[in-house]
């Protein structure tokens, strides 16, 4: 079981890397655009293969994403770096507050 699960996980990572999902933001955006173009015809093909009758009007519209993956990534990196740059100062402040609290408890 472990080998099967590991093999499936490895295959999933390989496919994600191969499709450009683990690359830069522009590669991820291109992969998303490619998936949006490919999925509706693939779903229609599978429903025809399985014998299900699905009309185009019954399929929901493809959701529109209006955000930049690279901008979101950069915003996250800036937030993490800002938190890390303030961390030593905050750690000292919290240590001083902790010592004051312990001293007040021991009085």
More confident residue, 20 or 8: 8
The total of other beta-carbon atoms located within 10 Å of residue 69's CB is 18
DSSP 19-57: TTTTS-HHHHHHHHHHHHHHHHHHHHHHHHHHT----TT
pLDDT tens for 9-19 read 888 888 877 77
Phi and psi at residue 91, to the nearest 5°: -65, -40
Residues in contact with 53: Cβ distance below 8 Å, sequence separation at least 6, in sequence order? 47
Q: Tell me the average pLDDT of the chain.
A: 80
pLDDT higher than threshold 90 for residue 101:
yes
Q: How far apart are CA 48 and CA 36, in angstroms?
A: 20
Residues in contact with 28: Cβ distance below 8 Å, sequence separation at least 6, in sequence order? 20, 21, 69
More confident residue, 27 or 97: 97
């Amino acid at each position: 079981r472990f080998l099967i699960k590991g093999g499936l996980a490895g295959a999933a990572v390989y496919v994600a890397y191969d499709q450009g999902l683990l690359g830069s933001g522009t590669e991820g955006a291109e992969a998303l655009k490619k998936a949006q173009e490919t999925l509706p015809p693939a779903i229609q093909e599978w429903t025809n293969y399985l014998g299900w009758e699905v009309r185009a009007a019954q399929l929901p519209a493809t959701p529109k994403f209006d955000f930049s993956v690279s901008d979101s990534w950069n915003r996250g990196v800036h937030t993490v770096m800002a938190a890390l740059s303030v961390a030593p100062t905050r750690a000292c402040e919290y240590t001083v507050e902790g010592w004051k609290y312990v001293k007040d408890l021991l009085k």
